[in-house]
Amino acid sequence: MNTHLKDVKANATRVSRRQVMIGAAGLTFGIALGGAKAALIASERTGQPLSPWVSIGPDGAITIMSAATEMGQGSMTSLPLIIAEELDADWGKVHIVPAPVDEKIYGNPGFGGLMYTAGSNAVTSYYKNLRILGAQVRRVLMDNAAKKLGVPVEELSTEPSFVVHAKSGRKLGYGEIAAFAEVPAQAPEIKPEDLKKPSQFRLITKDVMRAELPKKVNGSARYAIDVQLPGMLYGAVLRAPVEGASPEKLDEPAVMAIKGVVKVVKLPYGVGVVAETPWAAFAGQRAIAAGISWSKEAKGWGFDSDKGLESFAAAARDPKAQVTDWFKLGDVRSEMQQAASTFEAEYRCDYAYHAQMEPLNGVASVSPAGDSAEIWCGTQSQTMASEATAKALGIGREKVTLHDTLLGGGFGRRGPRDMDFLVDAVLLSKAVGKPVKSMWTREDDIHNGRFRPLSAHYLRAGFDASGKLAAWQHRLVGDRVTPFADPVRYEKAGKKDFILMLGADAKGYDVAHQLVEQVYEDTGMRTAPLRGIGFTANKFATETFVDEIAYKLGADPVAYRLDLLSKTPRARNVMARVAQMADWGRKREGLGLGAAYIDYSGTQIATVVEIALDRRSGKIKFHNVWCAIDCGVAVQPDNVVAQTESSIVYGIGLALTERISIKDGAVEQSNFYDYVVARNRDVPPLHVEVIQTENHPTGVGQMATPTITPAVSNAVMALTGVRLRHAPFTEERVRKALG
């Protein structure tokens, strides 16, 4: 099993003379024989040496590059598997190697060519190109085999890692062909009909062991925090509590007095300490904290999230608030005036924290002259990690060598443009001229967290005389995310804060007039995409609102949704299926059922939760969760189930307990005792059904997360007649709502 995953060190792109190589430069292909000729043709096409996607050794070993980083979502297996499918490779002979940083070849088409793993879009964005690539390699092998066997290529077929001539009973292994193959200068053209039909799939839609899984049960899986280098020192950084503040007074002698501390390094955003051991570094960090003062010019000082949310809510319901239109369908403003009746509601969401299990960290070895660097990093973006390092050192990107490792969870936190956690290591290594592993404590990880934003939502529905939902308005006031998390993509998107705003519309539902307005807020707080991005707050608002509308109309919430979904059959199908799975119509004593549906980047998903509520404590307890998901072709079905289970559990935490609060600009929570995530005992039986369709595959890594909070609010309503409007539904809030 282990043979599937080569060590990162084996990440060599050298290919021997007798190997077959095929590579993609963006979407155009350069194909070349191995060795010098390959490099020549590749450099003509791309301006740099070619790194192949696929190479086949004479021994039949097939090496496939993995362009996405692996944070538990399975892309390291599923992307190479897509190539292997069309190549008709024997999966047992496939070795997966992390791709080097080369956007022209490996860039994510879904992110304009960045090497960036986010948005649950790796499979959906690479799928088509990787299938074509695999088919091209297969075709080259077949052409070569045809020549060798002296038969027309039309008489050949393939079975895993063999080209077969059925007529004569002869076959050639891919390794044998690689030993003599010649590769054309032009990649063979692959038409859609040349690709496999779903019924011919041997790998796609069949479950395989994820490549890196065996290493995850014996301690040998390597994350950045595990990197060990000769002569390596340990770093810790105390950051300013508020973004933009910088250190002023500092008691350096007290820090240097700690045994093992090597150097104290003042940084623009905090103070670092470098030590011989991790425990000395952390002791140094505590000593820095004891004697530090910060500059007071930063915007976030004085911010209080409770008061902030009140002012957000006031702006949300203020018809004169200054808004920009995020999404518009039809003409809501005039429809609302003509409406026979209207209905309005408000919702609120707190800041939430990623809580990935591997605290943020980075390892850097900056050359003594400061003119080059090697970095080891668990990052969602190889591009951004390389760029941030180069920027921090003021050197060219080509002087940075990235060794990307597995990620101990990402959830959006390991993909900021500035790579804050990696730059710590880079700056500290530069300061001491030695390799440094810089680690954040859990407290650092929370205090310096970058959160799902605070938000307030005002929704208004307009009905025509027949009671039909005609107009939908959603005014959203939230802390800006994209401008902070990724200013580059924000500019490219025409200053659209998509991380905050996505999911605020009524997509999937038959509502002719829709308007989503944004009231821009910048409190100075650190924000980031968090699993489910804008959907987690926005779908809480919209899917709870749909439920409220159903109640107002005296309709069953599921029947009402099915009615609104009549024009979107795939959506209707998941909703109908999950209602069946949950036996929706059956009343159960002391338990409440709540439903939610969303279209998340094309993936159709519907959830029903079954909960109980202890009125005295206010504690909500899950009894069951049912979920139906249609993500088109489910490339790895069991992994789709696993990712959906994972998204549900993440959603349970966000719905019930996960809450970050801010006082005087600083985060109040510190560790898992006051930032409470779901544990084993909090999770009920999860029933996930994957509805396989032949649609283009769409994402699965986070799609269920946003369904949970609204489904819980809806279930509590069904059980108690009380509507919860402020997430998370902490015990205290539930008690208060029940009165």
Partner 1 sequence: MVTTFTVNGKTASTDAPSDTPLLWVLREGLKLTGTKFGCGAGLCGACMVHVDGKRAFSCQTQISEVAGKSVITIEGLSSDSSHPVQKAWLAERVPQCGYCQSGQIMSAADLLNHNSKPTREQIVEHMSTNICRCGTYQRIVRAVERAAREA
List of residues contacting partner 1 (CB under 8 A): 1, 71-74, 209-210, 212-223, 225-226, 228, 234, 259, 277-279, 355-359, 406-411, 439, 441-443, 638-639, 642-643, 645-650, 652, 671-673, 677-681, 683, 685-686
Task: Round to whole Å and give the CA distance between 235 and 105.
Answer: 35
Residue number, 71 or 471, with CB nearest to partner 1: 71
Residue number, 518 or 646, with CB nearest to partner 1: 646
Q: How far is the CB of 216 from partner 1 (least distance, A)?
A: 3
Q: CA of 652: how far to CAs of 284, 625, 679, 728, in Å?
A: 37, 10, 10, 9
Strand arrangement, sheet containing 170-173: 156-159, 162-165, 170-173
Residue number, 74 or 524, with CB nearest to partner 1: 74
Residue number, 57 or 408, with CB nearest to partner 1: 408
Q: How far is the CB of 74 from partner 1 (least distance, A)?
A: 8
Q: How far is the CB of 684 from partner 1 (least distance, A)?
A: 9
Tokens coding 27:
């979407």
Q: How far is the CB of 332 from partner 1 (least distance, A)?
A: 38
Q: How far is the CB of 280 from partner 1 (least distance, A)?
A: 9
Q: How far is the CB of 23 from partner 1 (least distance, A)?
A: 30
Q: How far is the CB of 257 from partner 1 (least distance, A)?
A: 15
Neighbours of 3 (CB within 10 A): 13
Query: Residues 6 or more apart from 665 whose CB is under 8 A from it?
Result: 241, 242, 298, 300, 301, 302, 303, 524, 525
Task: Round to whole Å and give the CA distance between 440 and 442.
Answer: 6
Q: How far is the CB of 668 from partner 1 (least distance, A)?
A: 17
Residue number, 309 or 678, with CB nearest to partner 1: 678
Rounded to the nearest 10°, the torsion over CA 630, 633, 635, 637 is 40
Q: How far is the CB of 407 from partner 1 (least distance, A)?
A: 6
Residue number, 241 or 408, with CB nearest to partner 1: 408
Q: How many Å is the Cα radius of gyration of the chain? A: 27
Residue number, 411 or 463, with CB nearest to partner 1: 411
Task: Round to whole Å and give the CA distance between 499 and 227.
Answer: 32
Per DSSP, helices labelled H in 433-532 are: 442-447, 482-485, 487-492, 498-501
Residue number, 258 or 345, with CB nearest to partner 1: 258
For residue 363, which of 393, 331, 385, 336 has the smallest C-alpha distance?
385
Residue indicated by tokens 């999770």: 683
Q: Which letter does DSSP use for residue 126 in this model? A: H
DSSP per residue, 272-292 = EEEESSHHHHHHHHHHHHHT-
Q: How far is the CB of 584 from partner 1 (least distance, A)?
A: 22
Residue number, 239 or 413, with CB nearest to partner 1: 413
Residue number, 173 or 362, with CB nearest to partner 1: 362
Q: Which residues pair with 162 in a beta bridge?
A: 159, 173
Length of the chain: 739
For 211-260, the three-class secondary structure string (H helix, E strand, C coil) is CCHHHHCCCCCCEHHHCCCCCCEEEEEEECCCCCCCECCCCHHHHHCCCC
| First-to-final CA distance of the chain | 57
